[in-house]
Structure 1
Amino acid sequence: MATERGSLGLLALLPSLLPSLLLLLLSRAGSADRCSWRGSGLSWEPRSRAVEQVHLRCTEGSLEWMYPARALRVLLEPNVASAQHSTVCIKPASDFQGASIYVERAGQLQLVLSEAEGARPQHVSCFSSPSPQRAALFLQASPQRDISRRTASFQYKLLSNQSAAGPDFPKMALLEAMCRPCDNMELLMAICSSDFVVKGSIRNVSHDSENHMSQVDVSVQKVYRQKNRIFQQEEGGGEWRGPIQTLLQCKVKQGGGDFLFTGNEHFGEAWLGCAPRFKDFILVYQAARERGSNPCEFELN
């Protein structure tokens, strides 16, 4: 479906895009080494047909294009030359408007995100990268008769084809989710490499069938590690709480008891990886420690 739409979009855009693409070398180049970019179509020369180029050398970041005009070419490239990234994921801002996003594949433009789709909150678009070292996006501004404020803003993330522990949300959204319990080695690796590791219980589970997501609201007893402040204490010295996202097809249900929640952050949200019952984790970790096979030390108290 995406290929068909992309082909139709390409046919409609070719007359206006080809002259611009020939002038890529004449366009103003973006910074050679940065994770995010912010710019405006109002700053361009009115009669210029050049395509603005932006070069982002990071595995994740953001782009904000205010007053979109004509076109913008964005080259996404990991900051490690040897890295192999097979998947690109984009999460548009809730007020995304004014442009559509295409990916370049062998000289063709394939539609990834239309302006109408970008307005959907929590909508994440993932696609395979044409090259393991880089991906080129093309933002085409939508026709408009006035200069009313429009902003095409999104977050991006480049993903490798290897995951240290547990399912990787955007990759699994593109392929097929593996909603299975982690084995002992995956669990031991998860406590070493996850973005967050917390002990807690499930307060509530809510489901969003439209976006194929579930949210697990966790009452936290102890935060062993967290990359950002997703799990926070309520005002007035209340309990610690935090939301964890997972795929709807994993069929997470509310259950009693304490769990060890691990996982990674994507676009500022915590996504579930391994989540054993805490008592089961203790048995696995102590057995590995006695054998000297634990990959890292973990504070049990």
Structure 2
Amino acid sequence: MFASVLVLVAFILSRRVWFCAADLCNWSGSGFPVGVDSRMVLQVRLRCTEGSVRWLYPGQALRVVLEPNLFSSARRNMLCIKASPSFGAASLFIDRGGELEPLGTDGGQAQHVSCIRAEGTHVPAIYIQTSRPGGESWSPRRMGFRYELMGNRSAAPGLDHMTSCRPCNDTELLMAVCNSDFVVRGFIKDVLHNRDGHISLVEVLAVKVHRQRSGVFELQATTPGSVPAVPLWRGVILAHLQCGVKPGEGEFLFTGSEHFGDAWLGCAPRYKYFVSVYRTAKARLVNPCDFPLE
């Protein structure tokens, strides 16, 4: 592996760089037109902490430089990448100032996310190689990935340090309703287990969406005579399979983080229990934020 990386580095140094314009967060473009120097490396610069790259008719090499502003990237030292299923046989590397580190993507595996730590405020570049130097090229019609910079407290779905498999204590619960990407009140309709993807899918019918970041929960048309007879929101929350999530009756307060358009389960107490905890904390003036009770 080390020898192959050295060969690839030498190959990169022998090529020319072609800079391509993009918007702040996302880039979509095609491979090199006929007649352009095949040694060129297409380079894209992005300025956000999350976004996507879509490469149509890819050429041989693409280098994505992430340069988020210092304010938005503060305390975000984890770079996570979710490759598209069509990524296939392409090779993905993290470029740390000329030093390339292979990054496994497991293209085609649902919900697979690869993460790597950044060094300080410097975010490494992403390098994609679609052919081996001197070998046959591999050119799918489309490939791409989504990226996200996360902080230490973010529950990166590709990591095993998530604490969502254990019940939250009262302090964690109160903080969850203040800091989570989504906070919804509702019922569990069904739980499906995807053993190949090592995830559980919790289908939720929500009667109240207090907060969400990516629009995971969508408003559904109500059916006459439905219970409860109020507008319902529907969404799917993901959890690691080893957490052993099971269906449960009654009303819950679901909280968690959103990554790559997916909601990941955090604290999920029964709503009545949360109300009791919150009222006690508020009476003692120790609630970290105000939460609307109904």
Alignment of 1:109-188 (within 5 A): 109-113=100-104, 117-142=106-131, 150-163=141-154, 168-170=155-157, 173-178=158-163, 179-188=165-174
1:271 aligned to 2:264?
yes
Give the match for residue 197 of structure 2.
211
CA distance in 2, matches of 1:193, 1:44: 50
Taking only aligned residues, the RMSD between alpha carbons, in angstroms, comes to 2.7
Give the match for residue 38 of structure 1.
28
Give the match for residue 60 of structure 1.
50
Q: Which amino acid letter does the alignment assign opposite residue 158 of structure 1? A: L
Give the match for residue 247 of structure 1.
240
| Structure 1, 136-145 or 288-297: larger mean CA deviation | 136-145
Q: Which amino acid letter does the alignment assign opposite residue 80 of structure 1? A: L
CA distance in 1, matches of 2:288, 2:196: 39
Q: Which amino acid letter does the alignment assign opposite residue 222 of structure 1? A: K
* CA deviation vs aligned residue, 1:241-266 (integer Å, no higher than 9, x gap): 21101112222122222210011211
Contact in 2 for aligned 1:230/1:270 (Cα 8 Å): yes
| Structure 1, 60-69 or 175-184: larger mean CA deviation | 175-184
Structure 1 stretches lacking a partner, 5+ long = none
Q: Secondary structure at the match of 2:143?
A: strand
2:65 to 75, 88, 98: 75
Q: Which amino acid letter does the alignment assign opposite residue 124 of structure 1? A: V
CA distance in 1, matches of 2:244, 2:288: 30
Q: Which amino acid letter does the alignment assign opposite residue 247 of structure 2? A: Q
Runs of 4+ in 1 over 4 A off after TM superposition: 143-149, 235-239
Q: Which amino acid letter does the alignment assign opposite residue 156 of structure 2? A: F
Q: CA deviation at 1:9?
A: 4.2
Structure 2 stretches lacking a partner, 5+ long = 227-231
CA distance in 2, matches of 1:242, 1:233: 9
CA distance in 2, matches of 1:112, 1:288: 45
If the length of structure 1 is used for normalisation, what is the TM-score? 0.83
CA distance in 1, matches of 2:3, 2:249: 52
What is the total number of aligned residue pairs between the two structures? 283
Q: Which amino acid letter does the alignment assign opposite residue 257 of structure 1? A: G
Give the match for residue 193 of structure 1.
179
Q: Secondary structure at the match of 2:43?
A: strand
CA distance in 1, matches of 2:208, 2:57: 45
1:261 aligned to 2:254?
yes
If the length of structure 2 is used for normalisation, what is the TM-score? 0.85
CA distance in 1, matches of 2:75, 2:216: 29
Q: Secondary structure at the match of 1:294?
A: coil
Q: CA deviation at 1:208?
A: 1.9
Q: Secondary structure at the match of 2:257?
A: strand
Gap change, CA 1:157 and 1:44, over 3 Å in 2: farther
